[in-house]
Amino acid sequence: MPIIDVTLAQGRSDEQVRKLIHELTHAACRAIDAPPASVRVIVHEVPATHFAAADVTIAERAAAEPDA
């Protein structure tokens, strides 16, 4: 049973998250010939203040952008 665990910064619509789940499920089915009923997708959404790269959070990076 494939388990796909995804972590995203918050801010996407329910429709976008649903599409991601759909696409990941079907990718697993194609790649390893898994039956769809066996594929599990877990989506974790975290606040932009809790998601960082290079010691800068997404929120900090957005605030520093000229368009913000």
Nearest partner of 44 among 2, 6, 3, judged by Cα: 6
Catalytic residue among 2, 36, 47, 66: 2
2 is catalytic: yes
- Known catalytic residues? 2
